[in-house]
Amino acid sequence: MDGTLEVQGEGSQLLALLVGAKRGEIIVDFCAGAGGKTLAVGAQMANKGRIYAFDIAEKRLANLKPRMTRAGLTNIHPERIGSEHDTRIARLAGKADRVLVDAPCSGLGTLRRNPDLKYRQSAETVAKLLEQQHSILDAASKLVKPQGCLVYATCSVLPEETNCKSNVSCPNIPNLNPSTAPNCCKT
């Protein structure tokens, strides 16, 4: 493939659209993985602005680099972080126009594709994921500048995993206004 096309699920495409990236903005994809949504956001920005693609897994981020090259995107900066508390994240505090958090979750919204998930999840697993989601969302919310936008998503059907306001209070975004698509959680 020459980078003209990227195969992507509908949910990922919609998330990239919800971010609503504009040319010249600073965008953070907090849990970027292999960067499918990062690439879609990059295409919206037409190489104008900066996209920081953070993830804890070097292997997933390594997959992003050749895909960026194929797509001709030079404004994406993949960076492996140790955790959501990595000191390298702090330099972006209050500077991001938009932050995308596609949080690690139970995945129970993907049962049609992964029916075995219902047998692999437990109350303890979900409790640990909720704790991790809270921590990630708290850290990511600190990056959003005033009047910025935070898009939070999971592929879960559990309300405790999908409700941005119940997951974290986001004290650094005092005017957080959770909403559902087509809007995002705006300040």
**How do the domains of the chain map onto residue ranges?**
10-180
pLDDT digits (tens, 9 = 90+) for 15-29: 888 899 999 999 999
Q: pTM score, two decimals?
A: 0.86
Please give the annotated binding residues for S-adenosyl-L-methionine, written as ranges.
55, 102
pLDDT at 100 over 80: yes
CA distances from 82 to 14, 17, 55, 56, 179 (A): 28, 28, 8, 6, 30
Q: Is 155 assigned a catalytic role?
A: yes
Beta strands 26-29 and 144-153 are unpaired
- Out of 149, 155, 170, 185, the active site residue is 155
pLDDT digits (tens, 9 = 90+) for 144-186: 998 898 988 888 888 787 775 544 556 566 666 666 665 544 4
Within its chain, how far is the Cα of 92 from the centroid? Answer: 15
Q: Which CATH class is domain 10-180?
A: alpha beta
Write out the E strands in 47-121.
Answer: 50-55, 76-80, 96-102
Residue ranges at the known binding site: 55, 102
Instruction: Classify 37 as helix, strand or coil.
Output: helix
